Chains A and B, each alone.
Chain A
Amino acid sequence: MTSPVTASYFDVDGTLISTNLVHPTLFYLVNQGTPVQTAMRFGRALLRAPAMGLAELADRRTFNELLYASYEGMSEDRLVLLADEVFDTVIKPAIFPHARSLVRQNLERGHRVVFISGALDFIIDKLVEHLGAHEAISNRLEMKNGHCTGKLEKPVVAGPEKARLIREHARDHGFDLEECYAFSDSYSDLPMLSVVGHPAAVNPDPRLALLAKAYSWPSFDLRASA
């Protein structure tokens, strides 16, 4: 097998799937060991909701940190045990109709296909496997004595950090960034899109759509079925 000539970096939430980081988290919160645990965790998450709302407007990294604090105290075993179910019930039905074909286009052209996402590794890895990609750069929960601390391991995958991680990944694999591709739906991923030679807007939000038009970036929709 020949080594990949270049890489294609995909944002995941909103780009390949319709869910975001909140959906799998909610699944975990409502599927705790007992109804009491579920109620307590859900209540705590609700208390954090306004802060998360503000953080989402200001800074994606802070939002991620607040969101993942909801996992504090959950056992690693339970997270891994439920991962298949999260994938089957939350992620899989949310994959956009043409996402698989886009990933396949890149694979068929010999690209290394990398998902780069703020979602958690044990879920994104399943999507990698399902869509036939090569690997993922994603967030990892910090564990202590088999339980989640509610913090993320560094580096936190979000916003401009994605661009740095892509640079690092390309350098480590010997890819010329000018030849690399990046796909995202969100204006917040502008740094990651700007770092490669071939950016593309996928199901773009209005700000990204405008920018893509101004710079003549390819822009398309994976949700359309007609």
Chain B
Amino acid sequence: MSHPSVVTLQRDSRPRVLFSGDRLVEVDLPAGTRVIYPKPPIEPLKDPAAAIRYALSHPLGTEPLYAKLRPGMKVTLAVDDISLPLPPMKRPDARAQVLEVVLELLADHGVDDIEIIIATGIHRRMKAAEVRHMVGDRVFERYWPDRLYNHDAEDRDNLTVLGTTELGEVVEINRRAAESELVIYVNLNFVPMNGGHKSLMCGLASYRSLSHHHNPETIRACDSYMDPKKSELATRLWRMGRLCNQKLNVFTIETTINNRMFERPLEFLTKNEDELDGRERALLAGLVATTKRLPQAARQAIFEKFPAPYGVTGVWAGETEAVHEKTLERCFEQYCVPVEGQSDVVVFPIPYISPYNVHAFLNPLLVSVLAQGYLFNMNRGVPLLKKGGTIVLLHPCSDKFDHEQHAPYIDFVHRLLPETRDAVELHKRYERKFASDPAFIQMFRTGHAYHPAHPFYMWYWGENGRQHAGRVIVVGADNEYIPRLMGWETAPSMDEALYRARNGEARTLSVSCLRVPPIVMTDVSLK
């Protein structure tokens, strides 16, 4: 018997309502299609502050935080950036709750040499209002901007090499953290790929250090980067992170959240369309009609207006790996749905948001990351899609970019992709030079642009999906050019896409649809 989150469509099933960018569209999927819904939200902690205090004084694999503190010591706190969760969490953000408790404890122990670094890695710098939302008013007022600031992965004067792994990977991180007597990492674990050694090894690293694991070879070797056990990315990060933790005194705090992405009036968006009551059906029809008629800017504004009411489901603290094991358990408990067998075709509705376009438009390169990267990898080593199968994605794929945040993406898509789509060739021929473009570096360091290496990483991020899938067909594209640049086909309708996926053969295809958002992962058992 299948899991309650797996719904097999019947002839009389209603159309599914799926995201296609910032629109909701009704899609008729054939009878027999398995639609995999997100699991219901896990009940959140009733008193997160108490849970945080308990975690700090009952840590895993190390002594309690208070025992590590002494007056006058130099402490650096590092915090995950705005790339998660998505959409940003309704206040108070889990990180703000942790910071409040930790900073109080530090003050009680006479620790006042404290700096808080937002672990942006090579993501864009967070803006003041975003930081305030994330850390809360009190912490923001007290520490911003002198003692609460964004990491700068290109500030040579403030980076330092901690050492080199046995495989020659250089671990280079933020100097302030490296020179601190205690580094406390405050994480919000949105997907299983987050957290663990990745936090420090990506968040506070330099471009040089990141390039050891953010490359096509690593991603191709991942069965799934959403499961550290099946991820070469995690293997490399863990090797570098262990070296880091040998050199530094690191105390890790991780939090998990449930997948309550929509406020109660919109919660029906996660429900099986056949189980909606009359009021919910009317509301859904209204939403579909509204998003169809409104201009793009208005649609984006509406979706950005509502932060997600995620609830904190767990807090663990202590030694990085021991903590992360617990975090992963809770993440998998929330996200993983058991599914029997792979499918010939998997339908991915692509929403309006990804970790890399908070408060910006989801550009076509990010569409490819969501489809062939994130959604393809939402499994524990066995993809939902059969090798050589077809991904059908729903998105307009508009040729549109945020000129500030994604300035280097535009050159990547329009200057480099027409040359080659081969990730290895892009890596070898273009990455170094492009990543050192002084104008883009300046935009990264003092503006709010992503680092010029970031579009390359985004392309590599889709590499295992690209290698696995036989073809990708886009339904709902508003142009032919962008899909062609990405190596994709276009189809005017789902029926046409599925017809093409059959390649003219008479056989019936097995079709699955990953009904995101919120997040859902599949545990695929092979027959």
Q: Which residues of A contact B500 (CB under 8 A)?
A: none
List of B residues within 8 angstroms of A154 by Cβ: none
A23 within 8 A of B: no
- Taking A216-B414, A221-B446 as contacts, is the C-beta distance between A181 and B438 under 8 angstroms? yes
Let me know if A220 and B438 touch, CB within 8 A.
Answer: no
Residues on B with C-beta less than 8 A from A194 are none
Within 49-103 of A, Cβ neighbours of B (below 8 Å) are at: 98, 101-102
Chain B residues in 8 Å Cβ range of A169: none
- 8 Å CB interface, B432-451 against A: 436-443, 445-447, 449
Cβ of B414 and Cβ of A105 under 8 Å apart?
no
How far is the CB of A201 from the nearest CB of chain B, in Å? 9
CA–CA, A111 and B441, complex, Å: 14
Please give the distance in Å from B428's CB to the nearest CB on chain A: 18
Q: Are B128 and A218 in contact (CB under 8 A)?
A: no
Q: Which A-chain residue is minimally distant from B445 (CB atoms)?
A: A101
Find residues 443-478 in chain B having any chain A CB closer than 8 Å to their own CB: 443, 445-447, 449
The stretch of B340-348, B403-411, B490-498 in contact with A is B403-411
Residues of the B chain whose Cβ atoms lie less than 8 Å from the Cβ of A213:
403
A220-B442 contact given A108-B156, A213-B403, A226-B128, CB 8 Å threshold: yes
Q: Does residue B61 face the partner (Cβ distance < 8 Å to A)?
A: no
A8 contacts the other chain (CB 8 A): yes
Complex contact A216–B411 (CB within 8 A): yes
Residues of A within 8 A of B408 (CB): 218
Contacts of B436 in A (CB 8 A): 109
**Known A216-B410, A226-B145: A101·B442 in contact at CB below 8 Å:** yes
CB < 8 Å neighbour of B438 from A8, A216, A219, A224: A8
Chain B residue at minimal CB-CB distance from A212: B403
Any B CB within 8 A of the CB of A167 = no
Whether A101 touches B156, Cβ cut-off 8 Å, given contacts A198-B439, A218-B440, A219-B407, is: no
Contacts of A222 in B (CB 8 A): 442, 446
Nearest Cβ in chain A — how far from B85, in angstroms?
25
Cβ A102 vs Cβ B438 within 8 A:
yes
CB distance from B444 to the nearest CB of A (A): 9
A98-B437 CB under 8 A given contacts A216-B403, A216-B411, A220-B447: no
| Minimal Cβ-Cβ distance residue in A for B406 | A216
- 0/1 interface trace, chain A 169-187, chain B, CB 8 Å (1 if under): 0000000000001010000
Provide the residues of chain B in CB contact with A183, threshold 8 Å: 439
Q: In the complex, which range does the number of interface residues on chain A fall in?
A: 20 to 34
Q: Mark A206-220, 1 if CB is under 8 A from B, else 0.
A: 000000010010111
B442 CB contact (under 8 Å) in A105, A111, A226: A105
Taking a contact as CB atoms under 8 Å apart, the answer to whether A105 and B446 are in contact is no
Is there contact, CB below 8 Å, between B438 and A109? yes
State the main secondary structure of chain A at its contact with B: mixed
Complex Cα distance A43/B312, Å? 73
Q: A216-B407, A216-B410, A220-B447 are in contact. Are A105 and B145 (CB under 8 A)?
A: no
Inter-chain residue pair count (beta carbon < 8 A) = 56
By beta carbon, the residue of chain A nearest B127 is: A226
Answer yes or no: A120 CB below 8 A from chain B CBs. no
- With a cutoff of 8 Å between Cβ atoms, the chain B residues found around residue A102 in the complex are 438, 442
CB-nearest residue of chain A to B408? A218
Enumerate chain A residues within 8 angstroms of B445, measured Cβ to Cβ. Answer: 98, 101
On chain A, the residues within 8 Å of B145 by CB distance are 226
CA distance A27 to B446 in the complex (A): 32
Measured CA separation A220–B441 after assembly (Å): 10
Distance from A177 Cβ to chain B, minimum over Cβ atoms (Å): 16
Given A216-B403, A216-B407, A219-B407, A106 contacting B438 (CB threshold 8 A): yes
Please report the C-alpha to C-alpha distance between residue A198 and residue B408 in the assembled complex, in whole angstroms.
12
Contacts of A106 in B (CB 8 A): 438
A200 interface residue, CB < 8 Å from B? Answer: yes
Whole-angstrom distance between the alpha carbons of A226 and B401 in the complex? 24
| A27 CA / B439 CA spacing, docked (Å) | 33
Q: B401 to chain A: which residues have CB within 8 Å? A: 216
B446–A181 CB distance below 8 A: no
> Are A218 and B439 touching (Cβ within 8 A)?
yes
A220 to B401, CA, bound (A): 16
Min distance, Cβ B310 to any Cβ of chain A, angstroms = 29
- Closest CB in chain A relative to B481 CB, distance in Å: 15
Closest chain-B Cβ to A206's Cβ sits at a distance in Å of: 15
Q: In the assembled complex, which residues on chain A have CB atoms less than 8 Å from the CB atom of B441?
A: 105
Residues of B within 8 A of A108 (CB): 156
Contacts known (A226-B128, A226-B145); A111 close to B443, Cβ less than 8 A = no
**Residue pair B403, A219 in contact (C-beta under 8 Å):** yes
Give every chain A residue within 8 A of B449 (Cβ-Cβ): 220
**CB within 8 Å of B: which of A103-123?**
105-106, 108-109, 111
A219 to B128, CA, bound (A): 21
A220/B446 contact (C-beta < 8 A), A111-B438, A226-B128, A226-B145 known: yes
Query: How far apart sit A198 and B436, CA to CA, in the bound complex (Å)?
Result: 12
A216: B residues at CB distance < 8 A: 401, 403, 407, 410-411, 414
Binary interface profile of B, 198-237, with partner A (CB < 8 Å = 1, else 0)?
0000000000000000000000000000000000000000
Q: Of residues 77 to 94 in B, which have CB atoms within 8 Å of A's CB atoms? A: none
Residues of A within 8 A of B447 (CB): 220-221, 224
Give the residues in chain B near A109, CB-CB below 8 Å: 436, 438
What does the 1/0 interface line of B83-115 toward A look like (CB < 8 Å)? 000000000000000000000000000000000
A204 to chain B, nearest CB (A): 12
Smallest beta-carbon distance B208→chain A, Å: 13
Q: Give A215's nearest chain B residue, CB to CB.
A: B410
A190 to B111, CA, bound (A): 54
How many Å lie between the Cα of A226 and that of B154 in the bound state?
17
Rounded to whole Å, the gap between the CB of B240 and the closest CB of chain A is 24
B152 to chain A, nearest CB (A): 10
A109-B436, A219-B443, A220-B443 known; 20 new pairs, CB 8 Å cut-off, are: A8-B438, A102-B438, A102-B442, A105-B442, A181-B438, A198-B439, A200-B442, A216-B401, A216-B410, A216-B414, A218-B407, A218-B442, A218-B443, A219-B403, A220-B439, A220-B442, A220-B446, A221-B447, A222-B446, A224-B447
Chain B positions within 8 Å of A, measured between CB atoms, are: 128, 145, 154, 156, 401, 403, 407-408, 410-411, 414, 436-443, 445-447, 449
A-B contact pairs, 19 of them (CB 8 A): A98-B446, A102-B438, A105-B438, A105-B442, A106-B438, A109-B438, A181-B439, A183-B439, A200-B442, A216-B410, A216-B411, A218-B407, A218-B440, A219-B443, A220-B442, A220-B443, A221-B446, A222-B446, A226-B128
A-B pairs with the 6 shortest C-beta distances? A218-B439, A200-B439, A105-B438, A216-B410, A220-B443, A106-B438
